[in-house]
Every structure is written in C-alpha cells, then in structure tokens.
Amino acid sequence: MEYQYPLSIDWTTEEIIDVMKFFESVEQGYEKRIDRDGFLTVYKRFKEIVPSKSEEKTIDKEFQESSGFSIYQVVKKAKNMSSGGWIQMK
C-alpha cells in the first residue's frame, strides 16, 4: 500500500531514503514479519536522523494516522525481545 509519509524538507535525499526504509520496515512488521535485528539497525539510523523524542512522537502520530501502523509499538516489541527472532504485529 502507499501512504503519505511524514518527511521533513530539512532532510537530505539520503536521509529521506533511509527514513522511508524505516517506514517500510514498520509496515513489514505489520503486514508480514521482519527480522528483529535488521529492524533495530534501520531504527538506529532513523534515530540518527530524528534524535528528538518529541519529533519521533510527532512522526509516529502522522504515520499512524496515514497508515494505521504504530512505530512505537513495533519498536517496543523489538526492544522487549531477546536478540534474533522475528517481529510480527497482530
């Protein structure tokens, strides 16, 4: 599916591509499943681009309104898992 991604005009092209990969990873966690360690690697890059917790919450809210998928819930599940394994949201 295609969604309206919450992107910043202040980000470079590379940063936009990396944030979009992160959004796609969140979607994959809901629509199929995603490798936990791979997801956390993409999330780490997202946090380099969006270090502010408040900005992350704003992006999560906008993304959730558009897609119905929660960044927070996928990250929470990934962090609560032991290393390895698959994230599959229900």
Q: In this predicted structure, what is the pLDDT of residue 1? A: 59
Q: What one-letter code names the amino acid at 44?
A: K
pLDDT at res. 82: 81
Determine if the pTM surpasses 0.75.
yes
Q: What are the tens digits of pLDDT across the range 1-44?
A: 566 889 999 999 999 999 999 999 999 999 999 999 999 999 99
Mean pLDDT of the chain: 94
Domains in the chain with CATH codes: 13-87 (1.10.220.80)
> C-alpha distances in angstroms, 15 versus 31, 76, 82?
24, 23, 29
61: pLDDT strictly greater than 80:
yes
